[in-house]
């Protein structure tokens, strides 16, 4: 039974997250229906990241096992045809090793958060950016973010419903930069806790508007207490932008 590795992108606005949830619209559910329409098989599509409701992806990785060996480009083209008009696209498809797993074989994940920092609201990017009117000091946010890098107990930035076995995570990258009216945050780690990125982003935004200091962020991390977290940023601006695997280049 051949296993196919798919690189996909999607707009998360119409979906209740990646993972299938009964009769709710999800990315996983839409992909599985497309596979059914293509080859008549009821399958489980496995993703590298279980993005929340409203969260987007430019480089999600999934795998699916099919009974018949199809050319990879046929799988890609057929799924894209059956996904119309949903905002999901299969960018690449390839045959994977039988023991390769999109989630468990991954060695790293990268997320980007986009903040539109201007007075005027987004007209073309509604639901794809977090609109913050007050001026943000991106340099101060970046400096504060460095206190989060490393191996820590991230209980403060962990959703109360997180099902991870441990709050201990190693954050490899946390950067903040300004690109015109946008403030861009980048985070990289082997794995993340539930809503960790949105929790860190919302807290760093408090630094950006001058309500928190870099020391306050460090203190919040050390508190290991969810009540010490700043406001949680909305799902709108969050994107899964890369998943890395052994032997593959790190995602951009």
Tokens of 93: 């498809």
Tokens 């059914």 sit on residue: 36
Residues in the chain: 252
Q: Which two tokens stand for residue 64?
A: 């699916």
Measured CA to CA, the distance from residue 233 to residue 204 in angstroms comes to: 10
Residue 143 · residue 218 · CB < 8 Å: no
Residue bearing tokens 């977290």:
229
Is residue 192 exposed (0-12), middle (13-18) or buried (19+ Cβ within 10 Å)?
Answer: buried
For residues 242 and 49, what is the distance between their CA atoms, to the nearest angstrom? 10
DSSP label at residue 97: -
**CB half-sphere exposure, 31, CA atoms < 13 A:** 30
Question: What residues are paired with 32 via a beta bridge?
Answer: none
The sign of the dihedral angle between the CA atoms of 168, 17, 252, 207 is negative
DSSP secondary-structure letter at 155?
G
Task: Please list the active-site residues.
Answer: 52
């Amino acid at each position: 039974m051949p296993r196919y590795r798919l690189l996909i992108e999607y707009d998360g606005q119409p979906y209740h997250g990646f993972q299938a949830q009964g009769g709710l619209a999800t990315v996983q559910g839409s992909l599985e229906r497309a596979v059914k329409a293509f080859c008549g098989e009821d399958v489980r599509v496995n993703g590298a990241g279980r993005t929340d409701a409203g969260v987007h992806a430019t480089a999600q990785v999934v795998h699916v096992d099919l009974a018949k060996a199809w050319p990879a480009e046929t799988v890609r083209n057929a799924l894209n045809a059956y996904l119309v008009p949903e905002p999901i696209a299969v960018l690449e498809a390839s045959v994977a090793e039988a023991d390769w797993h999109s989630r468990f074989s991954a060695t790293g994940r990268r997320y980007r958060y986009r903040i539109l920092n201007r007075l005027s609201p987004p007209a073309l990017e509604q639901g794809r950016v977090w609109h913050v009117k007050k001026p943000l000091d991106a340099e101060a946010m970046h400096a504060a973010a460095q206190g989060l890098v490393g191996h820590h107990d991230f209980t403060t930035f962990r959703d109360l419903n997180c099902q991870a076995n441990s709050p201990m995570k190693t954050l490899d990258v946390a950067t903040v930069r300004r690109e015109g009216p946008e403030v861009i945050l980048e985070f990289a780690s082997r794995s993340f806790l539930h809503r960790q990125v949105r929790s860190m982003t919302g807290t760093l935004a408090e630094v950006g508007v001058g309500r928190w200091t870099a020391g306050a962020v460090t203190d919040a991390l050390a508190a290991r207490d969810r009540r010490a977290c700043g406001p949680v940023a909305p799902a709108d601006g969050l994107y899964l932008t890369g998943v890395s695997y052994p032997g593959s280049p790190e995602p951009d």
